Structure formats: C-alpha cells, structure tokens
Amino acid sequence: MDYLLLFLLIIVTIVLGKTGTYFGLSEVVGQLLSGLFLGTSFLNIVHPNDLIHLIAEIGVFLLMLNSGLDSDLKEMKKHVKNSSMIAGAGVLLPAVTFPIAFLALGYSMQVSIFSGVVFSATSISITLAVLAEQNKLATPMGAIILSAAVLDDIMALTAATLFLIFIGGRTLGISNLLPLFAFALGLFLRKFNFSEVLGLMITKSGNCFFYPVFFGSIGLEVSVKSLNNKLLAVIIFSVLAIITKFYGSYMGAKLSGLNVNMSNAIGSGMISRGEMALVIIQIGISSRILNKDTSSEFIAAVIISTVVAPIIMKPLFKKV
C-alpha cells in the first residue's frame, strides 16, 4: 500500500509541477500544492510515512549536492565584493525583522529566531529561469545574483546548523547535517572532470523521482485548517519575505557601488525562497522545532514569495 501511495504522490506531483510552469508559476509551487491536495488538508489520501521520509531525505541530499556542483567558485571570486555585500545585507535584514514579527504575533522565542534563519535563505532556481528567458544569464548581473545567492545559502545553512546546536539544544544527527555536507561535497566534486555528467544524472533522477517526493512531502505537512485563524500572520510574513529580501539585497548592491537599475534587479532576483527555505523548514520539522501547525504558515509564506518573485523580476531585469 505504501508503494502505491508513493507512486500516486510522484505522479500527481510531477503533473502539477508541469502545470505550474505552464501557467507561468514555479514548478516547486505546483509540487507543493500536490502534497496539499493529497494530504490531510484536502483529499486525505497520502500521509507522511517512513518510506516517503527516506526518499525525501535522499531528495534533499541530491538537491544540495547539485547546488554545490552548479556553484562556480572561480566566477564568484570575480564578483566577491558585490556578492558579499548583497548576500550579507540580504541575510541580515530578514534575520533581524522576522523574529521581531513572530514574537509580536505570539510565537515562541525558539520558533521566532528560527524564522529569521528560514527567511534569510534564497532560491536561485526561479531567478535562473527568468535570467535565461531574457538571455541575461551570462551577464554581470546574472553572475552577481548567482554568486550572492550561493553565499546567501551557505550563510543560511550554517546558521540553521548553529541554531540547532546553541539555541535549539538539539543533538545533530545525519539528517540535520545532510544539506550542509551535501552542498560542500558538491563544491568539492566540481573540481573533477566527471562532475558535469554526475550533475546531469542527479538532475534527471531527481526530477523524475526524488525531488517530487521531497516537495510533495512538504505539502503533506501543511494543515490548511490551521491557517484559518492565521490569515493575518501569513499575509504579514509574505509581505516581509518580499520586502526584507528585496531591500536588504538592494542596499547591499548600492553599497557595493552598483547603479539603481542594477540594484533593483538584483534585489528582485533574491526574493524567491523556494527550495532552499523548504530544506531549512524540513530541518526544523525533523528536529521538532516546527510542528504541523507552525510549519504551515512558514510554507504558505514561502509559496507566496515564490509566486510573486518572477512577477517583480521580469520588468526590473529588462531595465538592465
């Protein structure tokens, strides 16, 4: 029975992911919605189990391994001044703002601080798609955004690990260290000639099997009923997710000497949270920092920021 439900989750997740891209949304959004529809929020057919959890963990590993393989450190060094200031400011503003907002709305200190870690992350996949669409992937703007996003995510993953040790009071297990280890391994393996072939194999197997299970399983964790009395919180968190990352990255870009149009474009390119924030949310769930109720508003804000990001990006990218 578990295998049939797993198969159903994969098929529905892939179909809704492709449907999402057809309507101009991120594939990740469609995949998350599949978990919502199949889980307790709507149809109540598929529930998280050991098999889904195991495959989702492998999906996280492959996702982060591929991120490391795709990160060109040599290219990052060319824009180290710009990307460091953009990443630093883009992490600092949400890391400070979100805990204040969460505390003001009555959340625990631990969840509030963890919210700053989650929303300091950046997803580059949606930004990559918009850059490619406008043929700006190989431009200085594209290189700076990519470099800043990689630094951003290294900071966020490191912060998540330090949070578990010093604030969460958790003993780190392999599932907690997996994302950071996989990312570092990808950076190391990139030096070898086989890295391109390995990246291609990971992408194909991930897209067909592991990634749909991971993103679908995140959707399974969302309880829509628990959001009924948290609509104001979700709206506030979604607005903050967009504003803090945009203006934080914008200020970093301006301080590094970039012009207004470039700074606006870079700010918009750093908004999307997508898969990186979801990886950190999953760390929070597996470490019991977040439960099914509290994780729902996190995921809802991530979905909204991921949907809104391309709408803001496209006109600002065209001005550069």
Question: Would residue 24 count as lying in a domain?
Answer: no
- pLDDT at res. 79: 85
- pLDDT at res. 1: 66
Question: Would residue 258 count as lying in a domain?
Answer: yes
Give the span between the Cα atoms of 203 and 63, in whole angstroms: 8
Percent share of the chain, pLDDT over 70? 97
Question: Would residue 133 count as lying in a domain?
Answer: yes
Is 294 in contact with 47 (CB distance < 8 Å)?
no
Question: Would residue 82 count as lying in a domain?
Answer: yes
For residue 145, give the CATH number of its domain.
Answer: 1.20.1530.20
Q: Is pLDDT of 174 > 70?
A: no
Q: Average pLDDT of the chain?
A: 87
Q: Is pLDDT of 111 > 90?
A: yes
Question: Would residue 215 count as lying in a domain?
Answer: no
Question: Would residue 75 count as lying in a domain?
Answer: yes
Question: Would residue 28 count as lying in a domain?
Answer: no
Cα within 13 Å of Cα(136), Cβ side: 24
pLDDT in tens, 36-90: 899 988 888 998 888 998 998 899 899 889 888 877 777 777 888 899 999 999 9
**Could you tell me the residue range of the domain that residue 251 belongs to?**
62-203+229-318
pLDDT in tens, 9-46: 999 999 998 898 888 777 888 888 898 899 988 888 99
Amino acid at 30: G
Is 295 in contact with 226 (CB distance < 8 Å)?
no
Instruction: State the alpha helices, DSSP H only, in the chain.
Output: 2-22, 27-38, 50-69, 73-78, 80-104, 109-118, 125-133, 140-162, 174-189, 195-205, 211-220, 231-255, 260-269, 274-286, 292-318
Give the span between the Cα atoms of 134 and 151, in whole angstroms: 24
Confidence of residue 162 (pLDDT cuts 50, 70, 90): confident
Question: Would residue 30 count as lying in a domain?
Answer: no
- pLDDT at res. 143: 84
Q: For the chain, how long is the longest CA-to-CA vector?
A: 59
Question: Looking at the 3D structure of the chain, how many domains does it have?
Answer: 1
